């Protein structure tokens, strides 16, 4: 039986990865942060199957302990301050967790069990102001947020430890991936939650920032499988994981409302753009500049050809299916919330 240690097990990806590894018969250890009230986040439903270890990416001693206790064969670092917007409000914390935290984990592996295989959650945010379209493993980086800059350090220190110490260390350069478990601060879940609330009459308007922004959106369940594949190869390497399709935030809004039979009619432009319910006529989407970012990543499009060829990875869940699942899930959650209010 193999043993895995997942940092970030309470997050979106960590919970899907834990499910995958448990299905494969792994003994799974998960890093959890001490909070005033115990909170297993997205891993609540599998909490009895995971061996939790209290640790923090900013605390080397706790990561050394996590390695000693777990004796993990595979270590997945999915822990991060993962919201780009917050990285301007907490640039130093973001650097400490998303950047130096990776060095802490690599040092813990190197000193406790150098034979362990390591996965680092790198990101398409590192491409930022994109230098070519589509982006591949060879595209130059140009991060546009404190988050992107911190992640770039994590990416390079992973490569450096591979080259310096011959560690089996890989980075997955993952493009946006979403799911029913996505935090509501991210644009996709913010939209699907609002669609469900507007449809069920408890919200009037969805307020968004830059609707021209384009992303390459996949489903998290497909993407955690790629993480596992990366650690099963003969040699460690870095891979882009993406769908090779890009859509604007506006298209995501249209698709999501379409699943609850609301067609959007757009009017105006820039900060004055609004979206009306084409039948009822009322405004249900508008722009609020408070959601604009100090520097934006305008468009991302990833080419996963290397992962498809070398790992045999292929995404299964299409964009319409991703949106359908997220809207369906939020419709059910909101209906449940309304039922509870009536009781």
Which residues carry out catalysis? 123, 125, 147
Among 81, 87, 139, 158, binds ligand NAP (CB under 6 A): 81
Which of helix, strand or coil describes residue 70? helix
Answer whether 192's CB lies under 8 Å from 178's CB.
Answer: no
Extract the tokens encoding 27: 């003994």
Examine residue 12 and tell whether it contacts ligand NAP (CB under 6 A).
yes
Per rule CB under 6 A, count of chain residues that contact ligand NAP: 25
Q: Which of residues 19-38 bind ligand NAP (CB under 6 A)?
A: 31, 33
> Distance between CA atoms of 32 and 10, rounded to whole angstroms?
7
Among 49, 293, 306, 324, binds ligand G4F (CB under 6 A): 293
Least separation in angstroms between residue 282's CB and ligand G4F is 20
Examine residue 157 and tell whether it contacts ligand NAP (CB under 6 A).
no
Among 79, 97, 109, 187, binds ligand G4F (CB under 6 A): 187
| Structure-token match 């506006």, residue found | 250
**108 binding partner (options ligand NAP, ligand G4F, none; Cβ < 5 to 8 Å by kind):** none
Extract the tokens encoding 321: 């299916």
Query: Which residues, at least 6 apart from 337, have a Cβ–Cβ distance to it below 8 Å?
Result: none
- Give the x-and-dash track for 79-118 against ligand G4F (CB under 6 A): ---x-xx---------------------------------
Examine residue 14 and tell whether it contacts ligand NAP (CB under 6 A).
yes
Q: Alpha carbon 255 to chain centroid distance?
A: 21
> Residue 53 pairs with which residues in a beta bridge?
31
**58 binding partner (options ligand NAP, ligand G4F, none; Cβ < 5 to 8 Å by kind):** ligand NAP
Query: Which residues, at least 6 apart from 329, have a Cβ–Cβ distance to it below 8 Å?
Result: 180, 192
Among 27, 41, 188, 208, binds ligand NAP (CB under 6 A): 41
By beta-carbon distance, which residue lies closest to ligand NAP? Answer: 11
Which of helix, strand or coil describes residue 218? strand
Query: Which residues, at least 6 apart from 316, have a Cβ–Cβ distance to it below 8 Å?
Result: 219, 222
Which of helix, strand or coil describes residue 174? strand
> Residue 215 pairs with which residues in a beta bridge?
247
> Distance between CA atoms of 25 and 43, rounded to whole angstroms?
17
Stretch that binds ligand G4F, among 68-76, 234-242, 295-303, 315-323 (CB under 6 A): 295-303
**79 binding partner (options ligand NAP, ligand G4F, none; Cβ < 5 to 8 Å by kind):** ligand NAP
Examine residue 8 and tell whether it contacts ligand NAP (CB under 6 A).
yes
Stretch that binds ligand NAP, among 54-62, 230-238, 245-253, 321-329 (CB under 6 A): 54-62
Helical residues (DSSP H) of the chain, grouped into ranges? 12-23, 60-70, 86-89, 91-94, 101-112, 146-165, 187-199, 220-230, 249-258, 305-310, 319-342
Query: Which residues, at least 6 apart from 303, have a Cβ–Cβ distance to it below 8 Å?
Result: 134, 135, 136, 240, 242, 244
Q: Nearer to ligand NAP by C-beta: 148 or 236?
A: 148
Examine residue 216 and tell whether it contacts ligand NAP (CB under 6 A).
no
Q: Which residues in this chain contact ligand G4F in the complex, by CB under 6 A?
A: 82, 84-85, 123-125, 175-176, 185-188, 190, 208-210, 213, 215, 249, 291, 293, 296-297, 300
Q: Which residues in this chain contact ligand NAP in the complex, by CB under 6 A?
A: 7-8, 10-14, 31, 33, 41, 56-58, 78-82, 97, 121, 123, 174, 176-177, 183
């Amino acid at each position: 039986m193999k043993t895995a240690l997942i940092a970030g097990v309470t997050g979106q990806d960590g919970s899907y990865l834990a499910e995958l590894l448990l299905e494969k018969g792994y003994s799974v250890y998960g890093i959890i942060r001490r909070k005033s009230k115990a909170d297993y986040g997205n891993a609540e439903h599998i909490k009895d199957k995971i061996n939790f270890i209290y640790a923090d990416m900013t605390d080397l001693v706790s990561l050394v302990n996590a390695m000693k206790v777990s004796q993990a064969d595979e270590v997945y670092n999915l822990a991060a301050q993962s919201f780009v917007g917050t990285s301007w409000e907490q640039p130093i914390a973001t650097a400490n967790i998303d950047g130096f935290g990776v060095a802490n984990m690599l040092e813990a592996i190197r000193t406790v069990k150098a034979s362990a295989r390591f996965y680092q959650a790198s990101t398409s945010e590192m491409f930022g102001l994109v230098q070519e379209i589509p982006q591949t493993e060879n595209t130059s980086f140009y991060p546009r947020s404190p988050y992107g800059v911190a992640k770039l350090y994590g990416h390079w220190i992973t490569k450096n430890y591979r080259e310096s110490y011959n560690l089996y260390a890989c980075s997955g350069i993952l493009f946006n991936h979403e799911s029913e478990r996505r935090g509501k601060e991210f644009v996709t879940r913010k939209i699907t939650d609002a669609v469900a609330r507007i449809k069920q009459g408890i919200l009037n308007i969805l307020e968004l920032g830059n609707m021209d922004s384009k992303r390459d959106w996949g489903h998290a369940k497909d993407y955690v499988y790629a993480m596992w594949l990366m650690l099963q190869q003969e040699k460690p390497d870095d891979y882009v994981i993406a769908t090779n399709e890009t859509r604007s935030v506006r298209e995501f809004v249209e698709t999501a409302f379409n699943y609850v039979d609301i067609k959007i009619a757009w009017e105006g432009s820039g900060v004055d753009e609004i979206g009306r319910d084409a039948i009822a006529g009322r405004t249900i989407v508008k722009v609020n500049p408070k959601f604009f970012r100090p520097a934006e990543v305008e468009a991302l499009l990833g080419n996963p050809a290397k992962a498809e060829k070398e790992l045999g990875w292929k995404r299964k869940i299409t964009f319409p299916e991703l949106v359908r699942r997220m809207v369906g899930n939020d419709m059910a959650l909101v209906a449940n919330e309304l039922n509870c209010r009536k009781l």
